[in-house]
Amino acid sequence: MTRYFLRRLGALVPVALGVATLTFAMIHLVPGDPVVAMLGETAAPADIQGLRHALGLDRPLGEQYIDFLGGLAKGDLGESITYRRPVTRLIAERFPATLELTIAGLVVGMLIAFPLGVIAGAKPGGAGDLGAMGFAILGISIPHIYLGPLLMIVFSLDLRWFPLTGRGGWSHLVLPAVTLGTALAAVLARMLRQSLIVVRESDYMRTALSKGLGPMSALLGHGLRNALTSVVTLVGLQAGALLTGALITEVIFSWPGVGRLLISSISARDYPLVEGCVLTFALTYVVVNMATDLVYAIVDPRVRL
Amino acid sequence: MTRNASLAAGATIVALFAIVAAIGPAIAGVDPLAIHLSESLAPPSAAHLLGCDALGRDVFARIMYGARLSLGVSVSVVALSLLVGSLIGGIAGISRGWIDEAIMRGVDIVLAFPGILLAIALAAILGPGIVDLVIALSAMGWTTYARLVRGEVLSLREREYVHAAETLGAGTGRVLLAHLLPAMAGPIAVQATFGVGGIIAAEAALSFLGLGALPPTPSWGNMLDAGRAFILVAPYLTMAPGVAIGLAILGFNLLGDGLAQLAGTRS
Distances (CA, A) of A59 to A44, A75, A83, B87: 20, 21, 24, 37
pLDDT, tens digit (0-9, with 9 covering 90-100), for A238-294: 888 899 999 999 999 999 999 999 999 888 888 889 989 999 999 999 888 888 888
Query: Does residue B43 sit within a domain?
Result: no
Peptide bond into B216 cis (omega under 30): yes
Is B227 among the domain residues?
yes
**A201 φ/ψ sector (left φ>0, alpha ψ -120 to 50, else beta):** alpha
pTM of the predicted model, to two decimals?
A: 0.87
Among A18, A149, A243, the residue with its CB nearest the CB of B109 is A18
- Between residues B15 and A202, which one has the greater pLDDT? B15
* Higher-confidence position of B233 and A89: A89
Q: How many domains does chain B have?
A: 1
Residue B96 counted as domain residue: yes
**pLDDT recorded at residue B252:** 94
With the C-alpha atoms ordered A245, A251, A257, A261, is the resulting torsion angle positive or negative?
Answer: positive
More confident residue, A133 or A35: A133
pLDDT of residue B250: 92
Nearest to A143 among B125, B204, B231 (CB): B204
Q: For A131-141, what is the mean pLDDT?
A: 87
Which chain B residues are Cβ-neighbours of A18 within 8 angstroms?
105-106, 108-109, 112
Residue A32: its pLDDT value, please? 63
Range of the domain at B88: 5-21+63-266
Residues composing chain A: 305
Nearest CA among B226, B252, B215, B223 for reference residue B240: B223
Residue B189 covered by a domain: yes
What's the whole-number mean pLDDT along residues B152-162? 84
Which one is predicted more confidently, B30 or B194?
Answer: B194
For residue B78, being part of any structural domain is answered with: yes
Predicted confidence band at A121 (pLDDT cuts at 50, 70, 90)? confident
pLDDT band with cut points at 50, 70 and 90 for residue A112: very high
Smallest Cα distance from B57 to chain A, Å:
21
pLDDT tens across B171-193, in order? Answer: 777 777 777 888 888 889 999 99
Is residue B58 a part of any domain in this protein? no
Model pLDDT, residue A305: 59
Residue B68 in any domain: the answer is yes
The rounded percent of chain B whose pLDDT value lies above 70 is 98
> What mean pLDDT comes out for the span B72-93?
93
Q: Which of A138, A244, A262 lies at the smallest CB-CB distance from B114?
A: A244
Which chain B residue shows the shortest CA-CA distance from A289? B112
Is residue A29 scored above 80 in pLDDT? no
DSSP state of B219: -
The answer to whether residue B17 neighbours chain A at the CB level (below 8 Å) is no
Return residues 227-246 of B near A (CB < 8 Å): 227-228, 231-232, 235, 238-239, 241-243, 245-246
In chain A, pLDDT over 70 holds for what percent of residues?
Answer: 96
Q: In this predicted structure, what is the pLDDT of residue A210?
A: 78
Question: What does B27-81 look like in DSSP terms, one character per residue?
Answer: HH-S-TT---GGGTTPPP-SSSTT-B-TT--BHHHHHHHHHHHHHHHHHHHHHHH
Q: Give the model's pLDDT for residue A182.
A: 93
Task: Confirm whether B34 is domain-assigned.
Answer: no
Q: Rounded CA gap, B90 and B71, in Å?
A: 27
What's B260's domain CATH number?
1.10.3720.10
Tell me what the mean pLDDT of segment B6-35 comes to.
Answer: 85
Q: Is pLDDT of B1 > 50?
A: no
Closest CA to B67 of B254, B252, B241, B250: B241
Q: Is the model's pLDDT at A5 over the cut of 90?
A: no
B124 interfacial to chain A (CB closer than 8 Å) = yes
> How many Cα atoms occupy the beta-carbon half-sphere of A20 within 13 Å?
18
